[in-house]
Amino acid sequence: MTHPNLLAIDRHFDASPSFVYGLWSHPSLLSAWWGPEGHHLTTCDVDLRPGGNWRFNMEREGQPHWIHGTYHEVVPDQRLLFSSHFDEFNVHSVISVRFKPDGQGTRMHFLQTGFPDDEQVRGHRAGWTSSFTILEDLLLKLHGIGTVYPTLPPAQLSGVAQDLAEARRRHDAALNAAPAP
């Protein structure tokens, strides 16, 4: 059975749950990845506590797109639950983000409910997918991989970032498999 007003995305990131959670909880880091390609946050107000509010202005080509909400549950390194109001598109939803250890990385379970129609689900899926690709690229930069391409925007870096992530996985696997001296 499908739920037309529900958006679920699972992603693996090569970083600890604490590190990935940190990208969702610090305004300066949120500003580096939130929003699909071509958008950027010009306002990022975060009061990260149950009952605390958040407010972002996600701009594209000078056009503001305000989004706001309230945090309902904050469990550091594990879970965020918050409302999200994108008034411009009449989207008033609830977002749950869970961070679970997955091998040497994190499995992020993202769930957004309350969409008015399938069109909004499709649009938000594209936006979040783009945002999470930017988040993955940022993780690689913060881990020191990809810093040889610091001037490339995330869209141009994403293929390189995936190759570098695979190379890092192979390298780490080889190190773990090597006998101790």
pLDDT in tens, 59-70: 999 999 999 999
Highest mean pLDDT among 85-94, 108-117, 135-144, 163-172: 108-117
To the nearest whole number, what is the mean pLDDT of the chain? 84
pTM of the model: 0.76
Domain 6-177 indexed as CATH 2.60.40.10: no
pLDDT of 157 reads 39
- Whether residue 141 contacts residue 152, with contact meaning beta carbons closer than 8 Å, is answered with no
Q: Summarize pLDDT for 22-39 with one digit per residue, the tens.
A: 999 999 899 999 999 999
Give me the residue spans of the domains in the chain.
6-177
Cβ burial 68-86 (10 Å sphere, 16+ → b, else e): bbebeebeeeebbbbbbbb
pLDDT score of 51 more than 60: yes
The encoded tokens of residue 123 equal 């649009």
pLDDT of 132 reads 97
Q: Summarize pLDDT for 9-23 with one digit per residue, the tens.
A: 999 999 999 999 999
